[in-house]
Structure 1
Amino acid sequence: YLCEKNEISPNFVVICEPSSLKLALGHRGRAMLTITTEGVSSHGSSPELGVNAIYKIKNIIGRIEELQSKLAADNTSGSVTLSRIESKAVSLNAVPDQCKLYLDRRLEVGETETSVAKEMDALVEGTKAIWEIYEITDKTWTGKSVSCRAFFLPWELKEDHLLTRASIKAVNDATGKKATLFKWNFSTNGFASASKMGIPTIGMGPGNPELAHCRDECCDISEIVGALKFYASIVNNL
C-alpha cells in the first residue's frame, strides 16, 4: 500500500526484526484457515432434539493432530497448529448449531496453495464441514479499512545474491565478525516485499528471535549499536 500510494519502487528491502545480528535469508510462509461445521439448535435440556456442531467436528480435530505429526516427521514441510475453537449457540443452555476451528499452517519453500488445499480436503473428507482461507479484516490507526486473504508464501534469498554478498561484508565492517546465515522460523512483512512484490529482501536486527513476543523479551544495547552500524554500512556496500 505504501509503495503504491507513494510510487516507491525499492531496489532492496532490509527487515529489522530480531535476528541476534545474524543474516536472515528468508522465512516460512503462513496460511490462516478455518473449518466450519453446522448443526441444529435445541434446548439444552433436550439435546437429543438437536445436532451438536461441536461433536461433529471432533474427528477433524484428531485428523489435524495426526497431520502435524506427519509434517513434523518431514523436514521439507511446515507445521499446523489448531489455534482457536469457536462455537455459536443462542444461549448457554442451547445446543450449538455452529463450530469453527482456526488453523495456523506454516509453509516451507515448495509448499503451495494447491498442496495445502489437498491437505484441507483430506481433513474434512467424509464430513459436511467446509474449509476456507481466512479473510483478515481490520482498521489501521488512521481508520482506513483493510482486508487481506491470509495465504502468504515463504521466501528465501540465495547466498550468492548481490544483496546477500553486500550484507555479509556489511556485517564484517560493522561487527568485525564473520556473518552467520539462517532463516527465521517466524514470519515478517517480507511476505509483501519478497513473495508478493519480488523485491530482494534480507533480515537483520538486534534481539533474540526466540524471545519475540515473549513476556521477558529484551534487547542488548550492544546489539542495537551493532545493528545501526550494519544499516549504515550496507548502504555503502550496495
Structure 2
Amino acid sequence: MKDNFQRVFELAQKYETDMTQFLRDMIAIPSESCGEQQVIQRIKREMKKVGFDKVEIDPMGNILGYLGHGRHVIAMDAHIDTVGIGNPANWGFDPYQGCEDQAVIGGRGASDQEGGMASMIYAGKIIKELGLEDDYTLVIVGSVQEEDCDGLCWQYILQEDKIKPEFVVLTEPTDGKIYRGHRGRMEIKVATKGVSCHGSAPERGDNAIYKMAPILTELRALHENLTEHTFLGKGTLTVSEVFFTSPSRCAVADGCWISIDRRLTAGETGEFAIKQIKNLPSVQAAKAEVSLYTYERPAYTGLVYPTECYFPTWLIEEDHPVCTLLMKAYEALFHAAPELDKWTFSTNGVSIMGRYGIPCIGFGPGHENQAHAPNEKTWKAELVRAAAMYAVIPQSYVSEYAKKMPKITENLMEF
C-alpha cells in the first residue's frame, strides 16, 4: 500500500479542477435543510460519472454511493444541506454564484460542507483508477437535514437502511487537522404557567413571566458550575429564546417558556442535564415544566422521522485503531505529523457514535470559522488533500487495522 501513497496524491492533484467545478455546481444549487432534492440529483450524476458501483437515494432523501463488495463496511459522510445566506448585504459576492481564484472557492456550503462531498467522490474515482479495492465495501453518504437536526439522517440510515459500518469518517471541516470528538447538545424547554387578568389590576392574576425571572438567574449560575473535561472542554448552558402568551399587551401573561441550548461534555448525559434543571429551587417553586424539544419536520421526500432533540457527546481516544489509521495515512501522504483536535460545533457523530457506538473520526476540507458565516470559502489544496486521505483509508484499514477493531454490532447491511 505504501507504494500507492504518492500515486494517490498525484491523482488527487490531477483532479483538482474536476473537484472545483463539481463543488461550484453544488454551491450554485440552494440546498437548505428539507430542500436538498436538486443537489442530491447533481451528486447522483457525479457518482455515476466517476464509476461508483451502485448509487441509491433512500426514502429520507440521503444519497448512498457504493464502491466494492467486500465484507468490511466503511462509511464516509458529508451532510449536503446548508443554512441560509442571512443578510445578503454581508456578502461580498453572490453566495450561490460563488467566486474562485487560484487558491480559494467561495459560496454557501463551500466549507460547511459540500467540499467534503466533492473530495469523497473523487477519492472514489482514484480508488477505481488505481485498483485499490480490497475486502471492503465503501459507502459514500450525502446526508440531509443535518443543519436542522444533526444525526437524524444517520438514525434513519442505521435503523431503517440497515447499514452498520465498522467506522465512519466525518468530512466536516477540520482546519487541516484530525478530529476525534466533540461535545453533545440538547434543546430544552422550560415553561411556567400563570393566570391572566387585566393589566390595570395585576394582583388579580398570576404572572408567568415573573415566575420565570428567578429561573433565569439560577440557570445563569448553573452554567458557571458545569463539568470540565480536559480535551472536550466545559459543558455550557445558555438561554437562547423567550416566549409568552397573554390575551393582550394590557394583560398579565398566563404562560412563559424559554429555550435552552445545553452543550454536554464527556460524562454528562441527557438525563443528568434535565435533572440539574428540574432540581433548581426556582424551577420547583414555580412548578415549571422541563422537557426536551422534538423534531418532526418533513424531509424533502415528505418522510417524517420524529426524534427528541438530544444529541449525545462522543469521543475516541488517541490510541484507538481508527485514530491511528488516519494519523499514519496523513504522515505517509504528506510527510508531516498531523494535529489532533475536536470540533466546537456538533456533527452527525452524535448519532453514529453518540447513540449507536460506531467509531467516528473527522478529517475534512475547510475551516470551522467559515461555517454559517457570510463570504464562506474553502481552499482547493484542502480538497486535494482530503481526496487523497479518503482514497487510502479503506485499503489501509483492511490490511492493517481491521483486526484490531473491537466488535461493535452485527453488520446488518445487505449488498
- When normalised by structure 2's length, the TM-score is 0.54
Partner of 1:75: 228
CA distance in 1 between partners of 2:295 and 2:372 (Å): 21
Partner of 2:278: 121
Deviations along 1:90-124, one digit per CA (max 9) or x if unpaired, are 33333221100111111111112343133112331
CA distance in 2 between partners of 1:180 and 1:56 (Å): 48
Partner of 1:48: 203
Partner of 1:209: 368
CA displacement at 1:2 relative to structure 2: 2.0
Greater length-normalized contact order (CA 8 Å, ≥ 6 residues apart): 1
CA distance in 2 between partners of 1:50 and 1:66 (Å): 29
1:230 aligns with 2:382: no
Aligned counterpart in structure 1 of residue 218 of structure 2, from 63, 70, 73:
63
Partner of 2:171: 16
Deviations along 1:139-184, one digit per CA (max 9) or x if unpaired, are 1111111211122221111211221111112222343321111121
CA distance in 2 between partners of 1:155 and 1:181 (Å): 15
Task: Point out 4+ residue stretches in structure 1 off by more than 6 angstroms.
Answer: none
- When normalised by structure 1's length, the TM-score is 0.92
CA distance in 2 between partners of 1:90 and 1:145 (Å): 33
RMSD: 1.7
Secondary structure class of the residue paired with 2:305: strand
CA distance in 1 between partners of 2:235 and 2:275 (Å): 15
Partner of 1:134: 293
CA distance in 2 between partners of 1:90 and 1:216 (Å): 43
Contact 1:173 1:233 in 2 (8 A): no
Query: Highest Rg: 1 or 2?
Result: 2
CA distance in 2 between partners of 1:109 and 1:96 (Å): 39
CA distance in 2 between partners of 1:229 and 1:43 (Å): 69
CA displacement at 1:20 relative to structure 2: 0.9
Contact 2:312 2:351 in 1 (8 A): no
Partner of 1:163: 322
Secondary structure class of the residue paired with 2:174: coil
CA distance in 2 between partners of 1:196 and 1:114 (Å): 14
Q: What is the number of residues matched between the two proteins?
A: 236
CA distance in 2 between partners of 1:116 and 1:209 (Å): 27
CA distance in 1 between partners of 2:161 and 2:271 (Å): 34
Partner of 2:160: 5
Q: Percent identity?
A: 37
Secondary structure class of the residue paired with 2:240: strand
Unaligned runs of 5+ in 1: none
Deviations along 1:167-209, one digit per CA (max 9) or x if unpaired, are 1122223433211111212110101111212111101111111
Contact 2:326 2:393 in 1 (8 A): yes
CA displacement at 1:215 relative to structure 2: 2.3
Contact 1:37 1:128 in 2 (8 A): yes
1:195 aligns with 2:354: yes
1:173 aligns with 2:326: no
CA distance in 2 between partners of 1:90 and 1:232 (Å): 62
CA distance in 1 between partners of 2:250 and 2:334 (Å): 63
CA displacement at 1:36 relative to structure 2: 0.3
Secondary structure class of the residue paired with 1:139: coil
Contact 2:180 2:317 in 1 (8 A): yes
Partner of 2:91: none
Partner of 1:111: 268
CA distance in 2 between partners of 1:122 and 1:4 (Å): 34
Moved more, 113-122 or 193-202: 113-122
Secondary structure class of the residue paired with 1:184: coil
The alpha-carbon distance between structure 1 residues 223 and 145, as it changes in their structure 2 partners (threshold 3 A), is same
Contact 1:173 1:230 in 2 (8 A): no
Contact 1:169 1:237 in 2 (8 A): no
Counterparts of 1:83-98 in structure 2, within 5 Å, are 83-98=240-255
Query: Between Structure 1 and Structure 2, which shows a larger proportion of strand residues?
Result: 1
Q: State the AA in 2 paired with 1:202.
A: I
CA distance in 2 between partners of 1:94 and 1:219 (Å): 52
